[in-house]
Structure 1
Amino acid sequence: MLDIADDLHRWVEEGRDFAVATVVSVGGSAPRGPGAALAVDGAGTVIGSVSGGCVEGAVYDLCVQALQDGEATVEEFGYSDEDAFAVGLTCGGTIEVLVTPVAADAPDRAVFAAALSAAVRGGTVALARVFKGPPELLGRPLLADPTAYEGTLGGHPELDRTAAGESRALLAAGRTGEFVVSESGTRCGSAVTVLVESSVPPPRMIVFGAVDFAAALVRAGKFLGYHVTVCDARPVFATRARFPEADDIVVEWPHRYLRDTTTDRRTVLCVLTHDAKFDVPLLAAALRLPVAFVGAMGSRRTHEDRNRRLREVGVTEDELAALHSPIGLDLGARTPEETALSIAAEIVAARQGGTGLPLTGSRTPIHHDGPGGTRQGTDSATTTEGAQAWPTRHRPVQKPPVRK
């Protein structure tokens, strides 16, 4: 539900009753992932989407029913082989949807309101809700931040403590996912499965090199939801007039700025300078940071010369293997806009674990679960991988052959 936080926060401020349907799990090919939400208020106004249109009507009806009876429910939608016209996903996958009523006088209203307010402000919070377990626990919210939590999942305090810990692990990675707590861990006589939605500030994209290609990449980065910074040591090029859509413009030597700024495992670094005096010290530092993606622009000859120079300053072969160079997928791009599209496509493929190859004739899944997996918790919980926000940089996207 945090993906429609702006509208829901407004509804809370206006005192509206509403019910929200949230995708809690998907199987096979499905149009939207966990966390996608649709909400309906008491007047029948609808916002959001859970399936791109396939089952919206049925989910709308579930929300209306939840508003009437005040009960949370979980419904699964899939494709019906017996009845091709039945309500379901024509893509062949399945989704489970948690429908939660949030009345103006509901006991949990304050927790939902706090979660929505934090998400609108760009805060770092995780909203946890049970979607499998005893009926009386369905939809109950717990809100966790890096240091504290409020609300309750409705079971035992031990369940809340476990949920807060697992939620923080997902929050640290900026991930939405689920975990399972066994019967012994809940102390409520039944195992529960919990969805955690993470709200974190947007990831960073830092574009080094104030060139024409950078202007197009800034627009692509903003479209993908990044907080985009342009950095260049030349003040005549790094100007607001040339990059009006950038969030930040920094005039500094790139490697010095990278040394002093904040990055994390979601940060994308795009080096477009293709000038050795900038590239070598910058990439030598970048390839040793725990960031999501490091790519550098240049011809094949520039790439080989740059790698040689990087080896000379001590960059290892393992570190070089993490470099996406020449940056971008082979789209035959020529213009700055086409090149920005090819770079953005490689970043998305790396984030989602895609191959970068055409879907036509391919047997690979259309919707990837991403390169992360699941891990068994030390207690009774199972959660999405929390150690990495998205892709390890040592799993480069498979690129089609490029003609020299």
Structure 2
Amino acid sequence: MRELGTALRSWAADGVGVVRVLERHGFGTVESGQLLAGTASGAVAGLLYRGALDVSARPLVAAAAAAPQTREAHVAEPDALAAGLACAGGATLLGHPLPAAQADALGAALEAGSPAALVSAADGAAALVLTGPDLSARTGGLGSAELDDAAARAAAGLLRRGATATERVPAGDVELLVDLWVPVPSVLVVGAGAIGEALAAQAGLLGWGVRSASTVDEATAAVADFSDADVLVLLDHAPAFDATLVAGLRGRGFIGALGSRRTQAARRERLLAAGVTEDELARLHGPVGLDLGARSPAETAVSIVAQVVAARSGRGGSALAGSEHRIGG
């Protein structure tokens, strides 16, 4: 996304078209926040579904620099599998212009790796870019203050999940398409041992950042600077690290702590005595992890990152077979 951000900034003054996924069916699990951008002259950056939609999407980018339009794209099973997707599928693509100010603002945020949202009406007639840690900076508009406020509320709600998302949101008589990009999660592991090593390996497999801290001061300072995308996994049971938890529970991000129920109960009493409220304490995931029956450090690491994924998506971590949610996000 940072390379895409650089491209957007370099093209902003010359006119930019973007292509986004308005609706899709099939393809299996795919990442949200898919975006293709380019110019009328044919320059293109970004990727939609591993390039499987290029035949339809790339010509649409050039056309979208001038006017909004939609296009249907279908990918057969062999082509989908060759691109690395799970199965065949189809998508309704929305292409629309991105004015210079919005292109520059979105590009700068993506280039810097900071949160950003692109919101438009479902017909692509206007675009609003929201940037900053809490998406409070607005560039462009959707035609009315009411729509801009509705878009900002929708994007802020998605941001609280801490994950990149693409959603269609009703706003009165209009439907908005919201693409939100957030930084890749960074896991702070406090404490040493086999579980910490397994967590680092599992986070690396997911493409997440990993760092460690061994002292209370170091850990507390890091947690105090957390964004919504950051994750604390406290492995050390020492009461001194209660200070780190207090900072985390009064701040942002996913706050998790390992330990038996007995350890958690004692920790809870200490935190309450330190002035932590019940509402703040409700943010503590302890014992951290989903109930997968994990026995080894590696399995425990899987249960922890699974809970992080579920929490970021607003899900409970139940079996897909018993869920009514859409499979794949």
> Structure 2 length as normaliser, TM-score?
0.69
1:350: which partner in 2? Answer: 311
The verdict on how the C-alpha distance between 1:338 and 1:118 changes in structure 2, with shifts beyond 3 A counting, is: same
1:310 lines up with 2:267 in the alignment: yes
Q: 11, 22, 30: which one pairs with 1:32?
A: 30
Q: 202, 217, 220: which one pairs with 1:252?
A: 217
| One-letter code aligned to 1:23 | V
1:57: which partner in 2? Answer: 55
**What's the secondary structure of 2:109's corresponding residue?**
helix
Matches within 5 A, 1:205-354: 205-218=187-200, 220-221=202-203, 224=206, 228-233=210-215, 252=217, 254=219, 257=221, 261-263=224-226, 265-273=228-236, 275-278=237-240, 282-283=244-245, 285=246, 288-289=249-250, 291-298=252-259, 303-313=260-270, 319=281, 323-325=285-287, 327=289, 330=292, 334=296, 339-353=300-314
| Distance in 2 (alpha carbons) for counterparts of 1:257 and 1:40 | 41
| One-letter code aligned to 1:48 | G
The verdict on how the C-alpha distance between 1:16 and 1:195 changes in structure 2, with shifts beyond 3 A counting, is: same
The verdict on how the C-alpha distance between 1:86 and 1:29 changes in structure 2, with shifts beyond 3 A counting, is: closer
**What's the secondary structure of 2:49's corresponding residue?**
coil
| Distance in 1 (alpha carbons) for counterparts of 2:328 and 2:86 | 18
Q: 165, 180, 185: which one pairs with 2:149?
A: 165
Structure 1 contact 208–270 (Cα < 8 Å) conserved = yes
| One-letter code aligned to 1:270 | V
Structure 2 contact 52–79 (Cα < 8 Å) conserved = no
Once superposed, what is the RMSD of the aligned Cα atoms?
4.4
Matches within 5 A, 1:168-179: 168-173=152-157, 174=159, 176=165, 177-179=167-169
| One-letter code aligned to 2:287 | S
Bigger proportion of residues as helix: 2
- Identity of counterpart residues, as a percentage? 24
Structure 1 contact 32–50 (Cα < 8 Å) conserved = no
The verdict on how the C-alpha distance between 1:214 and 1:43 changes in structure 2, with shifts beyond 3 A counting, is: farther
Count of residues paired in the alignment: 309
Gaps of 5+ in 2: none
**What's the secondary structure of 1:313's corresponding residue?**
helix
The C-alpha deviation readout for 1:68-97, integer Å capped at 9, x for no partner, is xx3221235579xxx99999x985876432
Gaps of 5+ in 1: 103-107, 133-137, 183-190, 234-250, 370-404
| Distance in 1 (alpha carbons) for counterparts of 2:129 and 2:316 | 36
Matches within 5 A, 1:9-24: 9-10=6-7, 12-13=9-10, 19-24=17-22
2:92: which partner in 1? Answer: 96
The verdict on how the C-alpha distance between 1:231 and 1:48 changes in structure 2, with shifts beyond 3 A counting, is: same
1:194: which partner in 2? Answer: 176
| Distance in 1 (alpha carbons) for counterparts of 2:8 and 2:128 | 20
Q: 129, 149, 163: which one pairs with 1:143?
A: 129
| Distance in 1 (alpha carbons) for counterparts of 2:286 and 2:264 | 12
| Distance in 1 (alpha carbons) for counterparts of 2:35 and 2:23 | 12
Bigger Rg, which one: 1
Structure 2 contact 187–203 (Cα < 8 Å) conserved = yes
Structure 1 contact 276–306 (Cα < 8 Å) conserved = no
Note the C-alpha offset of 1:253.
7.1
| Distance in 1 (alpha carbons) for counterparts of 2:100 and 2:77 | 40
**What's the secondary structure of 1:230's corresponding residue?**
strand
> Structure 1 length as normaliser, TM-score?
0.58
